[in-house]
Amino acid sequence: MKGVNTNLLHGYPVIDDYTGAASIPKYQVTTFDQKEGYKDCGKYSYSRFGNPTILALEAAVANLHKARFGFAFASGMSAITTVLMLLNCGEHIILPKDVYGGTFQFSSKILKKYGIEVSFINYQNLEELEATIKDNTAMIYIETPSNPLLKVSDIQAIVEIAKKHNIKTAADNTFMTALYQKPLDLGCDIVIESLTKFVNGHSDVTAGCAVTNNEEIANEICLLQKNFGGILGVEDAWLILRGMKTMGLRMEKSVENAKILTKFLETQDKIKKVYYPNLTSCKFYDIHTEQASSGGAVFSFEFFEQDDLKTFLKKIKIPIYAISLGGVESIISHPATMSHACMSEEERLAQGVTQTLLRFSCGVEDSEDLIEDLKQALNN
């Protein structure tokens, strides 16, 4: 199916096999009778190992990425940590310096406890990347655009380097989603997304996914998923399946808002810089537009003065001020005290995450109302 919205509605199992229901039911059950004679006898035994509602979601996310295998988890971090635990003691992983705060904390604080070497480098310097590779390097982890400064990494170039050295690649694709960027098509071995964000889209579920085309990797992820037990709940799986049906429509409006708002903010005297990869002023514009079909619905902007930021947050009315992103409502976050609070100030500043930086996740409100709200909040 070529159309985005048609694929989201019909590109995966959406009709219940047992009843013909137009919405996959919530199989709110842990235990399945194993008597012979039941359809798919043996396929389901215990919900930690498989549940019809959760498996329907895993098929749906695989379809989104055009992947052979999909796995759902209880959070984005559960998906990330499961993929990182594919590494063995004595192996080495390379990550970008500006990786998401939770990924940074897990890699720097927990992976090292298990004898896994970790390097954080600048992915905009491919020579540095290749020079960091060791004989024991087993994974290169990509996050593009990055959170919160939306730095862009050249996925294909990184994949080429990785394949030359027989190294796995994993990419966090949360900001773009599979609607606008498909890292598997660009050669990545594994793609991770937080389903909490745009896929579900209603700020009422915590979930994550990992997808791959590699059967050996899929078997390893499946083993970790079952034994770590970070499975998604049935209710949450059902909510995401419902939310996905309108994902294309929601994201189209959110992306439109991001384009309008970033152009407006670039003209404001109190704003030092706007970070959004689809602005022609962005130094990552060319790379990003080659590998993604949109700039996405998230941008960040930095004030010259912290007092102006504080005044802005007091006066802004429509967006909620909160952690997370990707909801139908616009959300403003302060990365230094939210998404990157687990890092030290020195670590945050090394990434460029300052106290005067805000991240804006665009919802589906009318752009005219958002612009008027920004104007009044910026006008002392």
Above 80 in pLDDT, residue 35?
Answer: no
Q: What is the pLDDT of residue 292?
A: 98
Above 70 in pLDDT, residue 36?
Answer: no
- 338, 84, 360: which is closest to 208 by C-alpha? 84
Q: What is the mean pLDDT of residues 19-23?
A: 89
Higher pLDDT, 329 or 347: 329
CA distances from 41 to 45, 54, 188 (A): 9, 17, 35
Q: What is the mean pLDDT of residues 7-13?
A: 90
Q: Residue 85 has which token pair?
A: 């635990």
CATH ID of 247-378, from 3.40.605.10, 3.30.160.100, 3.40.50.720, 3.90.1150.10 = 3.90.1150.10
CB atoms within 10 A of CB 305: 11
Catalytic option among 27, 100, 123, 275: 100
Catalytic option among 27, 123, 151, 172: 172
Active site residue 236: no
Catalytic option among 16, 26, 48, 242: 48
Active site residue 100: yes
Q: What is the mean pLDDT of residues 6-19?
A: 88
Query: Is residue 331 a contact partner of residue 363, using CB atoms and an 8 Å limit?
Result: yes
Catalytic option among 151, 182, 197, 259: 197
Active site residue 66: no
Active site residue 48: yes
Q: How many Cα atoms occupy the beta-carbon half-sphere of 84 within 13 Å?
A: 29
pLDDT digits (tens, 9 = 90+) for 182-233: 999 999 999 999 999 999 999 999 999 999 999 999 999 999 999 999 999 9
In the chain, domain spans: 4-244, 247-378
Q: What is the mean pLDDT of residues 101-121?
A: 95
pLDDT digits (tens, 9 = 90+) for 154-187: 999 999 999 999 999 999 999 999 999 999 999 9
Q: What is the pLDDT of residue 339?
A: 81
Rounded to whole angstroms, how far apart are CA atoms 339 and 348?
11
Fold observed for domain 4-244: Aspartate Aminotransferase; domain 2 (3.40.640)
CB atoms within 10 A of CB 51: 25
Q: State percent of the chain over pLDDT 90.
A: 87
Q: What is the pLDDT of residue 342?
A: 81
Q: What is the pLDDT of residue 37?
A: 55
**pLDDT band at 41, cuts 50/70/90?**
low
Q: What is the pLDDT of residue 346?
A: 86
**pLDDT band at 351, cuts 50/70/90?**
confident
The H or E element that residue 257 is part of is helix 247-265
- The chain-wide mean pLDDT, for the chain, equals 95
pLDDT digits (tens, 9 = 90+) for 280-296: 999 999 999 999 999 99
Q: What is the mean pLDDT of residues 83-100?
A: 96
Higher pLDDT, 55 or 343: 55
